[in-house]
Amino acid sequence: MFTDTHAHLYSVKFLADRPDMMKRAFAAGVGRIFLPAIDSETHEDLLKLADAHPGKCFPMMGIHPCSVAPDSIEKEFALMLEYFSKRDFVAVGEIGIDLYWDKAQLKLQEEYFAKQIDLAIEKDLPIVIHSRNAFQECYEIVKEKKSTAGGGKLSGIFHCFGDGIPEAEKVIALGGFMLGIGGVLTFKNSGLDKVVEHVGMEHLVLETDAPYLAPVPYRGKRNESSYIVEVAKKIAEIKKISAEEVAAITTENSKKLFRT
């Protein structure tokens, strides 16, 4: 069984064929799919999909760093807390820092990343980190939170990990954190193959980030959970083990992390 630890399957990009897309995922052996939140525009769509597939789709709740804006973040944060008061979630995510599109909101992103980590510590939940052009900024905040009272148990995933071996070693040294490996691994010259070769399987989980970052041979097309098989095949090739072993180990890793 494959576990897709990060897929936005509630996206409007799946409006035309979502039922068929879900069937393809289950037919490919994807038995567990974790749904990261973005912001209030899609929270209800996320929850509707999770409720339609109990035991297969698991909802997270959080505010994506690209949705952290001065004029709306307080309202978004209050709404997120309201959701947590109404139902259970498997993680706080996706949260973090994104400096690819806009560096002007760095301080605000850092503030609300830290606030959402505090929430995760309070709720005893893992976090799923979006770190784009911002590994060191995210790492420093997580490291600081790990050293605070109650923060020692903090765990999570550095989603869509795309940095190098030194950064991977920093993540592992934190304790309790894993690397989310997706379609970028299959891209020529991504360099991620060297990281996967270096890191033990106990530190890896699979993800698609669907509908984004489709793996080869689907690169450039809409991604979906069934394509996670291609990521597993690439890891199997690098590690010289079977794709079935990759599926089993990474699924077990996800169970330990999400406790579900």
Query: Could you give the 3-state DSSP secondary structure of residue 127?
Result: strand
**HEC string of 32-74?**
EEEECCCCCCCHHHHHHHHHHCCCCEEECECCCHHHCCCCCHH
> Hey, what are 186's tokens?
């299959």
State which residues form the domain around 153: 2-258
What pairs with residue 179 in β-bridges? 158, 204
Residue 149's Cα: distance from chain center in Å? 25
Q: How many domains does the chain have?
A: 1
pLDDT tens string 163-211: 999 999 999 999 999 999 999 999 999 999 999 999 999 999 999 999 9
pLDDT tens string 225-252: 999 999 999 999 999 999 999 999 999 9
pLDDT of residue 101: 87
Q: Is residue 110 a contact partner of residue 145, using CB atoms and an 8 Å limit?
A: no
Confidence class of residue 68 from pLDDT cuts 50, 70 and 90?
very high
pTM for the full predicted model: 0.97
Exposure b/e, 233-242, CB count within 10 A at least 16 = b = ebbbebbeee
Phi first, then psi: what are they for 207, rounded to 5°?
-155, 160
**CATH number for the domain that contains residue 7:** 3.20.20.140
> Hey, what are 28's tokens?
């490919």
Rounded CA-CA distance 160/180 in Å is: 5
Rounded CA-CA distance 142/147 in Å is: 9
pLDDT tens string 35-46: 999 999 999 999
Rounded CA-CA distance 171/156 in Å is: 10
pLDDT of residue 74: 98
Strands 30-35 and 177-181: unpaired
